[in-house]
Structure 1
Amino acid sequence: MAIQFFSEEIKFELPQKLKRKNWLKKIAESENFQVGELNYIFCSDEYLYQINVDYLAHHTYTDIITFDNSEQDGKIEGDIFISLDRVRENASNHQQLEETELSRVISHGLFHLMGYKDKTKVQSDLMRSKEELAINLFHNI
């Protein structure tokens, strides 16, 4: 089991890495999942845009792209790319602290790997409630 944090084409060091790892494991355990190999890659808008074009044929900017590498039920494995440019802009647009928005997006990717979707209003509302629970959990660890 390994949760790792990387950056591509930007200089970024995630604060509180150990606390984040413990937090992500607790979220997974609360949903009856085990974390295997999980990589978070923090990058720029342009870097993530190119991934969106190359792998998903989407010509849009986004804050997160999640690739599920899981091969075993109940075990989370994947690569989660996060645009820090989008996180910062979204935090400003929603009048949130950057740390809170970052926690939201980090947990969002994990929830996708656990099977949660956000295409419909019902799915999106459930995802938002899960994110809020995760953010509260982070503050209480």
Structure 2
Amino acid sequence: MPLEIDYIDETQELDKETLEVILQLLHVAAKEESVDENSELSLSFVDNNRIHEINREYRGIDRPTDVISFALEEQTEEEMDIVGNDLPRVLGDIIISIPKAKEQAEEYGHSFIRELGFLAVHGFLHLLGYDHGTKEEEREMFHKQEEILKEFGLTR
């Protein structure tokens, strides 16, 4: 597999099958995006209180959200490249709120696993540099998300 995924379910709400589907989906996304072998990311499932804390601390937004990504390949001017032949490509962290995913699945009228998959792929694409700051970027990113979800079989 091209992607090493370290994950934790702080909520203890996800069963093994659900976790496996999300991990497989991220592997498909990595393949679709030609992510290098020997790449890794971290995936955390949290409650609304935890994601609210993270959102407030790191983004200055004082409310819970559905997914937050921290791309480790984004650098500021003061940071140096870390290079080496044996070092894995560390993409970053994806943090997903389980309560928000459940709420949004109901709101949008699709399954919880579809919403969870959508959020995982959304966060993953952010790690790869996709964004939705402009209408064109949003169109590109959301099109890519839908392609990956459709290829995997997670449709609405």
Fold similarity call, TM over 0.5: yes
CA contact (8 A) 2:72 2:92 kept: yes
Q: Quote the Cα distance in structure 1 between the aligned partners of 2:65 and 2:143.
A: 20
Structure-to-structure mapping, 1:46-125, within 5 angstroms: 46-70=49-73, 75=89, 77-125=91-139
Q: How big is the shift at 1:69?
A: 1.9
Structure-to-structure mapping, 1:34-49, within 5 angstroms: 34=36, 36-49=39-52
Residue correspondences, number? 138
Q: TM-score, normalised by structure 1?
A: 0.84
One-letter identity of the residue aligned with 2:27: K
Q: TM-score, normalised by structure 2?
A: 0.77
Q: Quote the Cα distance in structure 2 between the aligned partners of 1:86 and 1:78.
A: 21
Q: How big is the shift at 1:7?
A: 1.7
CA contact (8 A) 2:71 2:128 kept: no
Q: How big is the shift at 1:16?
A: 4.8
Residue equivalent to 1:2: 4
Are the structure 2 counterparts of residues 108 and 18 from structure 1 closer, same or farther at C-alpha, using a change threshold of 3 Å?
same
Q: If you compute each CA radius of gyration, which structure gives the higher value, 1 or 2? A: 2
Q: State the percentage of identical aligned residues.
A: 26
Pick from 19, 22, 25 the counterpart of residue 23 of structure 1: 25
One-letter identity of the residue aligned with 1:37: E
Structure 2 unaligned blocks of 5 or more? 74-81, 84-88
CA deviations 1:58-116 (Å, max 9, x no partner) are 113210110112367xx452111000111111111111111111110010011111111
CA contact (8 A) 1:33 1:76 kept: no
Residue equivalent to 1:134: 148
Residue equivalent to 1:11: 12
Structure 1 unaligned blocks of 5 or more? none
Q: Quote the Cα distance in structure 1 between the aligned partners of 2:33 and 2:53.
A: 32
